[in-house]
Each structure stands twice: as structure tokens, then as C-alpha cells.
Amino acid sequence: MRALSFLLAVCLGLAALRFAIAALLIAVCVLLIWGALFYARETIAFLCVAVACGMMEHHPVVTLAALAVAALTTRKE
């Protein structure tokens, strides 16, 4: 009986954690929509940095090459 109550407590804890993560995900989505409406430039910059970080993690050589090409083509003289 003791093991059953422990298992039930663990399941309730995991369910509460899952609910908290879902609530945080909804809050992040709402904040992204809010940012897109009122702070478009900063929101787009944030999303671009997030995409660049993800690409750097999975494809570092391709990302560095793309950054080099962008730096060479947008250079002001």
C-alpha cells in the first residue's frame, strides 16, 4: 500500500509539472504575439538570433559560411 501511495504521489507530481510546462508554453506564445504587435523589430531580431543559434548548434560550418557571405555582401565602404 505504501508503494502504491508513493507511485500515486509521483504521478500527481509529474502531472503538475506537465501542467506548469504547458502554462509556460502558452505564456511564451502570448508574449511572442504581443511582441510582434507592439515591438516588431525587436521580436524579429530575437527570432533571427534564436534561429541562428539553432543552426549554429546543428550546422556550424554552413552557418559560419552564411555569416561570412552576409558580412561580405552587406559591408559598407
Q: CA nearest 63: which of 52, 50, 47?
A: 52
Cα 14 to Cα 20: distance, rounded to the nearest angstrom: 10
Residues in the chain: 77
Residue by residue, DSSP assigns 50-77 as: HHHHHHHHH-HHHHHHHHHHHHHHS---
pLDDT at position 1: 85
pTM above 0.75, yes or no: no
Spacing of C-alpha 17 from chain mean position: 19
pLDDT tens by residue, 5-64: 999 999 999 999 999 999 999 999 999 999 999 999 999 999 988 988 898 899 999 988
